């Protein structure tokens, strides 16, 4: 038997109080989950039948709050951790108007967006999470990495900037432990505000802690940390389990204490020497961050940096990195990795690389191995990603998937958009996800931002192109910043002049690219883009200047020529 117990709680003064109460309640033996709302002064607990209300109220009292039992309802073992007011037979739609029940596996960007949209559409949701609420982005991905990158950028500017002749530079002391504490505090804050508190305040969503696997196309087994297992049935299901770092099969690597991005972001110290195996987003971002915080960094790229993008991108980033003292070894692979006496030794075709820490950043692989997808008839691709159609529907009727566990681009905003559309489709609507104008940003310095087609992609699609590349020494904002690294490249359809792609390597490229995405979405020509009003001395004005190069020599224009 599982019991649903509700407590009314007096004395909480903020959402953080509610978080502390929830964490304390979930430490009580036998408690499956707890949802605590500061605004409602209430805690809703799912627990084993043997857990007493007195033990729960006593736990709350140890935190300085008072609690009293508001309600207690027993439910059959087949219905686990239901939200208050939801009866056992609510898990299936019936002619009596019982809400559709949707199971969501995961709690990251796709899962949360889907759960909230499904509730808006009138469904009841059970969200199953085996680990920390919030998924990759907020906990070990986007948020902590961008905090670390920003801190490293500040350290770099204090050490070196284009204005050192007039502003005295110095080498700042890097207190990694304090930076890490600041980073983790913001991560915790955002997880509580954007995930945990929202779930606690949404009674139509029930959070079930445990690891899910499919029993069949309409039910799951959910195994809790204590080994207990429950059967959960659903009308619809969304698989949104994300992805984990992929580890290459390099001989010896598995026997070493290598880092993935997770360990790198959580490290309390900075290595004197760091090697990074990888050549794309995560490898590049973290390599530069560690270098700017004081590590001697070597990147091993199997081909070149950003080898799948326009070649100019990799060339520009490589030049910028080498100028900062980051060693970029192109066309280099480790044939063997060993670790002894606190040192990694990487054997390569160009000799040995010896470092104190090794970061593996060679992509991410879908978290689908433990889901027993085959029992529900769900097809996967060669990489283990769930195969979906434009509606996010899998090969199994009534089961959908979204985010990094599929073959969709691994960006949290793509995952969230896919989750929202999946929820619409699961509740009877029709929605698809158009990625034709999906912008992407790499938070290196200079940043890399792209949208639409590169020249190569357009030509592979049979589109004849006309392209222009504008170096930043032609952009007034870059000139006054005394930082002209990089370029802006526009790809147009030959003949019509319609803009179909933009690639930018510039400081603040991420702030430029959405304007380019909107221009492509609006099917603007480069002539129309060049005729728009752009504020002078902004980096985005570079888009206008790049568009004007199709018909003019911009070196012969006055500063703010229209």
Task: Render the burial of 117-154: b for 16+ CB within 10 Å, e for the rest.
Answer: bbbebebbbbbbbbeebbbbbbbbbbbbbebbbebbbe
Q: Is 105 helix (H, G, I), strand (E, B) or coil?
A: strand
The H-assigned helical ranges of 267-381 are: 281-292, 311-323
Q: Write down the catalytic residue from 38, 112, 137, 392.
A: 137
Q: Rounded to whole angstroms, how far apart are CA atoms 23 and 34?
A: 8
* HSE toward the beta carbon, residue 379, CA cutoff 13 A: 10
- Residue 237 annotated to the active site: no
pLDDT of residue 97: 67
31-45, 173-187, 265-279, 509-523: segment of lowest average pLDDT: 31-45
Residue 460 belongs to what H/E stretch? helix 455-460
Question: Torsions phi, psi of 422, nearest 5?
Answer: -60, -40
Convert the pLDDT of each residue in 133-143 to its tens digit: 999 999 999 99
| C-alpha neighbours within 13 Å on the C-beta side of residue 520 | 26
Residue 165 CB contacts under 8 Å (≥ 6 apart), including other chains = none
Q: Give the range among 81-90, 244-253, 289-298, 374-383 with minimum mean pLDDT.
A: 81-90
Q: CA angle 114-116-120, nearest 5°?
A: 110
Structural domains for the chain: 1-75 (3.30.70.100), 81-246+363-435 (3.50.50.60), 253-362 (3.50.50.60), 440-556 (3.30.390.30)
Residue 76, pLDDT above cutoff 80: no
Rounded Cα distance, 496 and 50, in Å: 73
- DSSP 8-state code for residue 561: -
Question: For residue 71, what pLDDT is reported?
Answer: 44
38 catalytic? Reply is no
Kindly tell me the sign of the dihedral angle through the C-alpha atoms of 433, 435, 437, 438: positive
Candidates 1, 38, 112, 142; catalytic one = 142
pLDDT-derived band at 90, boundaries 50, 70, 90: very low
pLDDT in tens, 104-131: 999 999 999 999 999 999 999 999 999 9
Known catalytic membership, residue 405: no
Spatial contact of 408 and 418, defined as CB atoms under 8 Å apart: yes
* Active-site option among 413, 426, 536, 560: 560
Lowest mean pLDDT among 26-35, 84-93, 200-209, 388-397: 84-93
Compare 400 and 24 and report the one with higher pLDDT: 400
User: What percentage of the chain has pLDDT greater than the value 70?
Assistant: 94
The predicted-structure confidence for 350-391, as pLDDT tens digits, reads as follows 999 999 999 999 999 999 999 999 999 999 999 999 999 999
The neighbouring-strand residues paired with 470 are 488
b/e burial code for range 23-41 (CB count within 10 A of at least 16 → b): ebbbebebbbbbbbbbebb
Taking 90 as the threshold, does the pLDDT of residue 82 lie above it? no
Number of Cβ within a 10 Å radius of residue 79? 21
Query: Exactly one of 12, 237, 524, 539 is catalytic; which is it?
Result: 12
What band does 309 get if pLDDT is binned at 50, 70 and 90? very high
Q: Catalytic residue at 12?
A: yes
pLDDT at residue 93, rounded to an integer: 55
CA distances for 141 relative to 85, 238, 333, 529, angstroms: 36, 22, 25, 35
**Looking at 38, 65, 112, 413, which residue is catalytic?**
65
């Amino acid at each position: 038997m599982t019991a649903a117990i509700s407590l009314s709680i007096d004395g909480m003064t903020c959402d953080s109080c509610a978080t502390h109460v929830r964490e304390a309640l979930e430490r009580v033996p036998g408690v499956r989950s707890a949802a605590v709302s500061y605004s409602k002064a209430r805690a809703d607990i799912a627990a084993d039948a043997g857990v007493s209300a007195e033990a729960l109220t006593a736990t709350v009292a140890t935190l300085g709050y008072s609690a009293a039992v508001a309600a207690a309802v027993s439910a059959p073992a087949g219905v686990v951790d239901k939200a208050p007011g939801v009866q056992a037979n609510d898990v299936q739609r019936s002619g009596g108007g019982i809400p559709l029940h949707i199971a969501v596996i995961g709690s990251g960007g796709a899962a949360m967006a889907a759960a909230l949209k499904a509730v808006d559409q009138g469904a009841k949701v059970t969200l199953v999470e085996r680990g920390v609420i919030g998924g990759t982005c907020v906990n070990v991905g986007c948020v902590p990495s961008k905090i670390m990158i920003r801190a490293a950028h500040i350290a770099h500017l204090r050490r070196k900037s284009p204005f050192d002749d007039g502003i005295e530079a110095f080498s700042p002391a890097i207190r990694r432990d304090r930076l890490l504490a600041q980073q983790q505090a913001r991560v915790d804050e955002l997880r509580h505000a954007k995930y945990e508190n929202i779930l606690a305040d949404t009674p139509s969503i029930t959070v079930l802690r445990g690891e899910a696997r499919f029993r069949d196309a309409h039910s799951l087994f959910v195994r809790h940390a204590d080994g207990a297992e429950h059967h959960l049935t659903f009308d619809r299901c969304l698989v949104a389990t994300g992805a984990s770092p992929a580890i290459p099969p390099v001989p010896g690597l598995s026997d070493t204490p290598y880092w993935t991005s997770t360990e790198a972001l959580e490290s309390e110290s900075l290595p004197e020497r760091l090697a990074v195996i990888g050549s794309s987003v995560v490898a590049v971002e973290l390599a530069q961050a560690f270098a700017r915080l004081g590590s001697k960094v070597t990147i091993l790229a199997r081909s070149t940096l950003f080898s799948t993008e326009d070649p100019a991108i990799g060339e520009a980033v490589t030049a910028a990195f080498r100028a900062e003292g980051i060693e970029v070894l192109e066309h280099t692979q480790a044939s063997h990795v060993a670790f002894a006496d606190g040192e990694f030794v990487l054997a390569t075709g160009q000799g040995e690389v010896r470092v104190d820490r090794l970061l593996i950043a060679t992509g991410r692989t879908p978290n689908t191995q433990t889901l027993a997808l085959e029992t529900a008839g769900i097809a996967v691709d060669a990489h283990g990603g769930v195969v979906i159609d434009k509606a996010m529907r899998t090969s199994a009727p009534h089961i959908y998937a979204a985010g990094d566990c599929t073959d969709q681009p691994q960006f949290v905003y793509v995952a969230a958009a896919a989750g929202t559309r999946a929820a619409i489709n699961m509740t009877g609507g029709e929605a698809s996800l158009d990625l034709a104008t999906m912008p992407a940003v790499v938070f290196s310095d200079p940043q890399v931002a792209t949208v639409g087609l590169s020249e190569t992609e357009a030509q592979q699609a049979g589109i004849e192109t006309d392209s222009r590349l504008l170096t930043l020494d032609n952009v007034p904002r870059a000139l006054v910043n005394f930082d002209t690294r990089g370029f802006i490249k526009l790809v147009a359809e030959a003949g019509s002049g319609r803009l179909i792609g933009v690639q930018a390597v510039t400081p603040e490229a991420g702030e430029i690219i959405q304007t380019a995405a909107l221009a492509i979405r609006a099917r603007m020509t480069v002539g129309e883009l060049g005729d728009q009003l752009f504020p002078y001395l902004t980096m985005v004005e570079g888009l206008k200047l790049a568009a004007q190069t199709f018909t003019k020599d911009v070196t012969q224009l006055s500063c703010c020529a229209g």
